[in-house]
Homo-oligomer: A and B are copies of this chain.
Amino acid sequence: MFQQIKTMFSKSCEYAIKAMIFVAQKSKEEQRVGIKEIAKGTDAPEHFMAKIMQDLSRRKLIHSAKGPNGGFYMDASDLKNSIADIVKAIDGDTIYKDCVLGLKECSEKNPCPVHFEFKEIKKNLIKMIENNTLAAFNEKLDSGKFFLRNK
């Protein structure tokens, strides 16, 4: 039988958000962060995380430098990215567009039975992830009251 574990985002996306927050924190003073440090700091498998970072880099959500003293870092404009930007880069915009019950199209014309119930929920969810930028997190997290790993 099946044992599904279904969370809001894909594992890749979870890692991506954690990594972005992690690097944002360290990027405050021109520091670069290596993939090993990122993986450790976020409880993610190193090589898998590397792929995700490459992806985020390709999509211009983060900067990277090769060679000694290289690593990942963010500039001021990178810090303006929101959780939504990360989610869109990794999981795509399915939470924006897709029908909750998997109909081919989510529309007001052909709504599934739960369309209107979920409309409001989705609106709030989207608003939240769009309003929360990495810069905003940076401030909040300086208090040290939040965690990216716990074992």
Q: A: which residues have CB within 8 A of B?
A: 1-15, 17-18, 21, 43, 55, 83, 90-92, 94-95, 98, 100-105, 110-115, 117-118, 120-121, 124-125, 128, 132, 137, 140-141, 145-151
Contacts and interface: CB of A to CB of B under 8 A. Distances in A.
A149 B115 CA distance: 13
Given A118-B128, A124-B124, A113 B148 contact: yes
A115 B99 CA distance: 25
Contacts of A145: 111
Contacts of A17: 101, 114
Contacts of A112: 18, 146-148
B4 A90 contact: yes
B128 A140 contact: no
Output the residue of A4, A14, A92, A128 with the most chain B CB within 10 A.
A4
A84 B148 CA distance: 29
B7 A12 contact: no
A9 B7 CA distance: 8
A92 B3 contact: yes
Give the 7 A-B CB pairs with smallest separation, nearest first: A14-B102, A6-B91, A113-B146, A6-B10, A4-B10, A110-B150, A4-B91
